[in-house]
Every structure is written in structure tokens, then in C-alpha cells.
Amino acid sequence: MENASSSQQATQSETPTFFTQEELSKLKSDFETGGVENVKPLLDKKVKELENTELNIAVTGETGAGKSTFINAMRGLRSEDERAAAVGNTETTKEPTGYPHPYLPNVRYWDLPGIGSTRFTAGSYLRKMKFKKYDFFVIVAAARFTENDAKLATEIKRLGKKFYFVRSKIDADLYSMRQQRKEFDESAEMGKIRSDCVSGLGKAGIPNPTVFLISSLNKKMYDFDRLLEALADDLPNIKESVFTLALPNLSVEIIRKKGEVLKKRIWMSAILSGGVGAIPVPGLSAACDMGILIGAIIYFRECLCLDDAALRRLAERTGTSVEELKDTLKSSLLGEITVKVIVKLSLGVVAIGVSAMEVALYSVPVIGSVFGAGSSFLMTYMTLNNVLHLLMETAEQVLAFAKGAH
């Protein structure tokens, strides 16, 4: 009994945060009164809500600050990639320009004209830029933040939105200093740059600002990771999940965070995929909705940057081909997802044993434990968990390959 109690406590901590307590209670009640068919409508509604959740991120700063390069970095693109934001030193943005994420089109980064390039006050600027649509603002500067930047931040704060100061091109500044001095302490120089930014913003009316020093061309260094963490932490639960999935795979930690978000959606796909029936060996497709299974696997690949478009960009950067890259990774999940591939994965799940499957149900929130070990729900749930585990391993291999190629 002690182990069961511990498992139930763990279950509660894994309850998806994108469900309200009221929705979870309704799921449980509907299931108890009418079974699987009663909970499907609410799950359908929640899946659509998750798929349609918009995240709009505004990026502003003066001409030449590196806004476009930053937007491309956040989307996992380089300037020469298809659909990348145009990079240049000439201010061409007269109206907000939206750049959708490569695989999550409801996530958009908006390039706003710098307030210094307009004739508007901070208040009128925000009205013209359709302030209300943005979830938060990133103010980018390549040198000192200006008085206009500070006024804009003050107005954003007054209107109740979050903003972040990003000091870009830090790698170029440090390189220039290194070339001019016999003795060079990078940490000390970064401290001076940060202090200068904080001091300037303080004088312009922003008390105790946090400034992130980044290079959009070298995201693995400086404050880029800290910036991503700060952006995610300040978002409401559903949008935090969406933002996490939209991040470029810069580290093993990001890949694992994506895995946590995706795992919390597996049980919904499992319930929608099948009813309660015998373990379908070999008739898997008769008991489960193969379209849902295939769609979930393709979605996992995109979120983990393992789709063909992401692999092609990596191959181009590392001087190899997509085929050679796939051969190196040796994963059947990177090819065409067919019924045959899924059945093979599911038979491997069956080999785990029914007792292990029953234990796994403790990680399904609210209603999972009422399903028997012989359900097609369980088969789908375990198959997708297995798929996600394998894809996360592959994503970590891709990350190691990319690091080794530089």
C-alpha cells in the first residue's frame, strides 16, 4: 500500500498544468458516469485549444541592433534559410512584420520598427504597433540602451506586459577588445558591459533592470540560455508549454523539457485513439486510430527538430546530406511512419509485460488507473511513450553531432 500511495502522489505532480482543476474534475465525473465516450468531447476541445494557442513575441530596437538575427536564432534559422527574416543594417520595417515558427505556425515573432526610427511617443508607438496582441516584448540594443528604449519599457510596464532587455552582438564586442589588449579578462569585460547597460537604464528611469548579454550567432554562449529560461518562466502554463516546444535544441536540458511537455499530452492521444479492448496482437490497427498515432509521432519529430526540414538545415551546415545523417542516427522513426513501423514498436511494448504496463498507468492523471491492462488505450499510451523516449535519444544524438561538427 505504501508503494501505491507514493505512485499516486507522483501522479498528482504529473497532472498536466494546461488543465484547470475544474476540467480535471469534470473529466473524472464524465468518465465515471459514461466511460470513454463521455470524456472524448472535452479532450477534443482541449487538443484543439492547445493546437490553436497563439504566442506573439514582439522584438523592437533601433536600426542595426540585430533584431532580425535574434528572431532567426529563436526560430532555429540562419539568414540564408528559407523563410528567414531579412538581415541588414537598413531600417526597412515600417509596420510590424510577423515571422511564424517553422513548425508551430501559431508562434510568431514580430519585428517592430525601432521607436527611434518613428515620430511617435512611447504611448502612441505602442498603440500603432497593436500593443495588446503581444505576450511580451524583447528590446534589443547593440550598444547602449537609449532613452527611447527606457521610455518604451516604462510604457509597456504601465500597461501590464512583460519586457526584456537584450544586449546583442556581445561576441563581436569581446573579439574587438581582445584584439586591442595584451591582457584580456572576458568575465570582467562582460561585467563592465552589463553594469554600463544597467546604469544607463537606471538613469533613464528603469530601476534594477535585468540585461541579457547574448550573441544570436553563438547561442550556446553568454546569456542566451538564461534568457530562454526567463521568457518561459514568465508565461502562463499553456503558453509556457507552447514556448518550450518552439525552442531550438540548444542543450540536452531543452530536449528533456520538451519531452516533459509532450509526455503530458500522450494520455489524451491515447484516449482519443482507442476504446477499451484486448491488446491487439497483431491487429493493432483494428483497435487504435492509426491516423492519431501517426500524427502524434510526426508532431513529436517536429517539436524535437527531427523532421526532414530541420535535418536538411543541419546537413547543410555540417557539409553532409540528410540521407547520410539519417544513416548515422539509425532510427526507423526518421523515415516514413507506416502501420508496419508502429506495429513493430507496439510489439516491443508488449514484450515489457502487463505488470509493467499497469504500473505505468499511475502516470496518467485522474482517469488512467481505471483502465484495465488489456486496453487499446494502454497500448497506444505505452507505444507513444516508447516513441517519445526513442526520439528524445535521437535528438540528443543530433545535438552531439552538431556540436562535434563545429
Q: Which residue has the higher pLDDT, 37 or 230?
A: 230
Indicate whether 231 and 313 sit together in one domain.
no
396: pLDDT strictly greater than 50: yes
Q: To the nearest whole number, what is the mean pLDDT of the chain?
A: 79
CATH number, domain with residue 232 = 3.40.50.300
107: pLDDT strictly greater than 90: yes
Angle at 404 between CA 256 and CA 406, to 5 degrees: 110
Indicate whether 121 and 205 sit together in one domain.
yes
pLDDT of residue 173: 87
Residues 158/150, Cβ–Cβ less than 8 Å: no
Angle at 281 between CA 280 and CA 284, to 5 degrees: 50
Q: What percentage of the chain has pLDDT greater than the value 70?
A: 80
Residues 137/157, Cβ–Cβ less than 8 Å: no
Indicate whether 32 and 61 sit together in one domain.
no
Residue-wise pLDDT tens digits, 16-34: 456 777 877 787 787 777 7
Indicate whether 189 and 266 sit together in one domain.
no
Indicate whether 95 and 154 sit together in one domain.
yes
| Model confidence band, residue 349 (pLDDT cutoffs 50, 70, 90) | low
pLDDT of residue 405: 59
pLDDT of residue 33: 79
Indicate whether 154 and 110 sit together in one domain.
yes
Q: pTM value?
A: 0.82
Task: Give the C-alpha separation, 323 to 255, whole Å.
Answer: 23
Weakest-pLDDT range from 88-102, 210-224, 347-361: 347-361
How are strands ordered across the β-sheet holding 211-213? 97-100, 107-111, 55-61, 136-141, 162-167, 211-213
> Into how many domains does the chain fold?
2
